[in-house]
Amino acid sequence: MKLTNEIYLEQQQKLIMTAELRLAIAILQMSTLELDEYTQRELEENPLLEQKEPEDHAADNLGDMAGEEKAGEAENGNSPEEWMEYFHDRDIGLAVNEGASKSFDNFLTQRPTLYEHLSFQLNLTCEDPAELEIGQYIIGNIDSQGYLCVDVAEIAAATGAETATVERVLAVVQTFHPHGVGARNLKECLLIQLHHYGKQNDLVEAIVNRFMDELAYGKVTRIAQALGTTVQNIQEACDLIRTLDPKPGLQYSPNDEVKYIIPDALVEKVEGEYVVVMNDSASPRLVVNQLYENMLRNPGNFSPEAKKYLEEKMGSAIWLIRSIEQRRKTLDKVIRCIVDIQTEFFDKGIKHLKPLNLRQVADMIGVHESTVSRATSKKYIQTPQGLFELKYFFGSGVEGSGASERISSKSIKRMLEEIISGENNSRPLSDQTIVEILKSRGIKISRRTVAKYRQEIGISSTTARKRY
């Protein structure tokens, strides 16, 4: 066996993940909000980048095809000047109406928090400073759902008050709005609301105290047998309990503020065909700063260190602009492919949604599945059927009546909702009966699959749906 050190040449092919490629992948996966935040940070750190002011882009939108041809020519070359010329000439976006009429809605203040709401009521109710201190301590230990997180003994030890005094102040806090706040558990929360609305009686209180688990699973007959009354009486009492709020504090939760979703594209039907319009007003419009660009054209005016710095920032700026444009193109291709496949959905609704997977779209537009997955992540489109996330159009399916026909699971779930909504409440349909109904419509699925779909869309079992 010969052991020697030798030097030789070998040619290999490797896929290297460069910084530019990682940037393009990361930008493709970003949502509109994340992309806006990222570009704002880049604008602060890179002096060669600047955001173009919104203008009337109607001519640019009409000339998209010509712009794409020019972009293709720029991509084939490696000259930064070609890219700068292209991106200076082209600005993508919808016109922004700066002259919109002002509304009083723009001047509304933020709604009070639960703590502020309860403190306001406490100051109106209590005058004794000692009781105010106890009340503030109680309110400070009420969680976002409205429940008291500490016991009375701990409150008494922290405030130096008697247990009876703490109980009295707690009883006062439990009368505040929203009703049920300050309770220590679910049973107490429901009983407080029943007392406030004047709906308490022995039957309802017995169900709340002893049969909450049976109530959750709709075991009305078992509760009636245990309490020695009719099923109809138990059903009426359970209906009353279900009208109560188990988490009253969420009425003042900061998470209930309205959050608007800006669609990345709009799908509209024009002369019998669906047209995809990219919502470029939601994406940042970046250009290279003209001042620094002119400085780079005269490198003799500054030091080599400054020249190197500007060249690095210029390369970073151009790659960022190029990555954003590539994201737009990829997203446009994916959306157009989805629209072509799901045309019946846009025409007739969810029952006509077709099964679709990432590989189908990837093969049609000539990219990898991971690219389609990133392009559809946290992206939304506005359609004639409503606003949908792109991931919504992907899903499994089951065999239909035709030899090659497949039906989307989302379509079957919608059929389940319609079938159950039309049932007789006194004789609700069993899962096996639903299987037979779907079979008559050309859909063959098992009873277990029906139960799974029913649970996923939040529909109770046959026993829980029955009305007496």
Taking residues 156-167, report their average pLDDT.
93
My answer on whether 207 and 128 are in the same domain is: yes
Angle at 187 between CA 186 and CA 191, to 5 degrees: 115
Domain closes at, from 231, 254, 277: 254
Q: Is residue 220 within 8 Å of residue 467, measured between CB atoms?
A: no
Structure tokens at 174: 């439990």
Taking residues 319-344, report their average pLDDT.
92
Q: Determine phi and psi for 403, rounding to 5 degrees.
A: -65, -40
Q: Has this prediction a pTM greater than 0.85?
A: no
Residue-level pLDDT at 464: 82
My answer on whether 367 and 433 are in the same domain is: no
Q: Provide the domain limits for residue 298.
A: 19-94+262-383
Q: How many structural domains is the chain composed of?
A: 3
Chain centre to alpha carbon of residue 99? 31
- C-alpha dist (Å) from residue 295 to 78, 303, 305: 20, 12, 14
> Do the domain assignments include residue 370?
yes
pLDDT, tens digit, 9 for 90 and up, residues 61-107: 434 434 444 444 444 444 444 544 444 444 433 344 444 455 555 55
Rounded-to-integer distance, Cα 216 and Cα 225, Å: 17
Task: Give yes or no for residue 400 having a pLDDT over 80.
Answer: no
My answer on whether 147 and 186 are in the same domain is: yes
> Do the domain assignments include residue 444?
yes
Rounded-to-integer distance, Cα 147 and Cα 139, Å: 10
> Do the domain assignments include residue 1?
no
My answer on whether 244 and 266 are in the same domain is: no
- Sign of the CA dihedral running 360, 362, 363, 368: negative
Angle at 172 between CA 170 and CA 174, to 5 degrees: 70
Task: Give yes or no for residue 246 having a pLDDT over 50.
Answer: yes
CATH code of the domain covering residue 435: 1.10.10.60
pLDDT higher for 69 or 33?
A: 33
Alpha helices in 342-427 (DSSP H): 343-348, 358-365, 369-375, 409-421
Sorted by sequence, the CB contacts under 8 Å of residue 190 that are 6+ apart come out as 180, 208, 241, 244, 246
My answer on whether 297 and 360 are in the same domain is: yes
